[in-house]
Structure 1
Amino acid sequence: MNVKTRKITGQVILVLVAFYLDGLMKWAFLNNMNTGEIMIVPQLMLMVLVMLSMRISTRRQLILYGVVFGLIYDSYYFGLIGLYTVLLPLAMVGVDHFKFLFVKANMGYEISIYFLALTFIQSGIYVLERLLQQTSVNIMDFITFTLGPTLLWNIIVFFILYIPLANLSDWLVKYRRDSK
């Protein structure tokens, strides 16, 4: 197995571990906090995908990751195929467009792009659920009780996990210049 194949396999394993940790975080921590009206949605998989997207140069690979992991996320967590399958590749393409605006990726740029991608995903899910009549929550309640707490929780987790995930993402993507 050559270096490129090993690095891509490592990227897929990292996203799958983040996918698993999303469910574990929800089960372990957030079940006690998601009582009443407030709903927090952990998005560690999206965080890892955004960090990898900032470092991966091929748009085809980003769209493939978005479709595959969106389909896995939909089939496991929602049961309604289509929400993440559509929105995740769109978010990955958006991240690909934004990353060329920056000279070098750093924490400030990556957190702003993650914030935008998370807002896009959560708002898109709300809009699609309203169109499919899966929810009856109005927009102000969605912003107050779901979007705000979700953004706050995920930004705190981003600050905690940024350095290890950034180093791991750099290592998993660098196979062209050096085989570190």
Structure 2
Amino acid sequence: MNIKAQKIFGQVLFILLAFYLDGLMKWAFLNNMNHGVVSILPQLMLMVIVMLTMRIDDRRQLIIYGIVFGVLYDSYYYGIIGLYTILLPLMMVGIDHFKFLLVKNNMGYELSIYFLSLTFLQSGIYLLERLLQQTNTDVLDFITYTLGPTLLWNVVVLFILYIPLANISEWLVKYRRDNK
């Protein structure tokens, strides 16, 4: 197995680990906080995908990751195939399209991209669920009780985990000897 294939395998394992930790985080301690009307959705997998998307140059690989992990997330967490399957690749291609504006990866830029991605993904899921008549929550309740707490929780988690996740994702993308 050559180095590039090993790095791709490592990227897939990294995303799968984040996928698993999403569920573990929700089960372990967010279940105790989600008893009322407030609903916090951990998005560690999205955090890892945004960081990898900022570093991977191959758009075809990004679309494949988006579709595969979108189907996996939909089948495991939602039961409705299509929500993440559609929105995740769209979000990844959008990030890839505008990352030329990035001079150098830094925490502020990646935090804003993650914030916008999370807002896009949660709002898109809400709109698709409304379209499919899976929810009857109005927009203000969604913003107040789901989107706001989810954004706050995930931004705090990103502040805590930024340095290790950025270092791992940087290492998993670079595979040339001169670039480590």
TM range (shorter): over 0.9
Matches within 5 A, 1:1-180: 1-176=1-176, 178=178, 180=180
CA distance in 2, matches of 1:99, 1:177: 24
CA distance in 2, matches of 1:13, 1:24: 16
Distance in structure 1 (CA, Å) of the matches to 2:131 and 2:105: 36
Q: CA contact under 8 A between 1:26 and 1:42: conserved in structure 2?
A: yes
Q: CA separation in 2, counterparts of 1:162 and 1:127?
A: 30
Cα deviation digits, residues 125-165 of structure 1 (max 9, x gap) = 00000000000000000000000000000000000000000
Q: State how many pairs are aligned.
A: 180
Q: 2:179 & 2:105 partners in 1: Cα distance? A: 21
- The answer as to whether partners of 1:63 and 1:92 remain within 8 angstroms in 2 is yes
1:97 CA drift (Å): 1.8
What do the CA deviations read for 1:95-117 (whole angstroms, capped 9, x no partner)?
11221111111000000000000
Work out the CA distance in 1 between the residues paired with 2:179 and 2:148: 41
Gaps of 5+ in 1: none
State the identity as a percent: 76
CA distance in 2, matches of 1:131, 1:38: 22
RMSD: 0.9
Q: Give TM-score scaled by structure 1 length.
A: 0.98
Matched residues in 2 for 1:179 and 1:9: separation?
A: 19
Tell me by how many angstroms 1:177 deviates: 5.3
1:176 CA drift (Å): 3.1
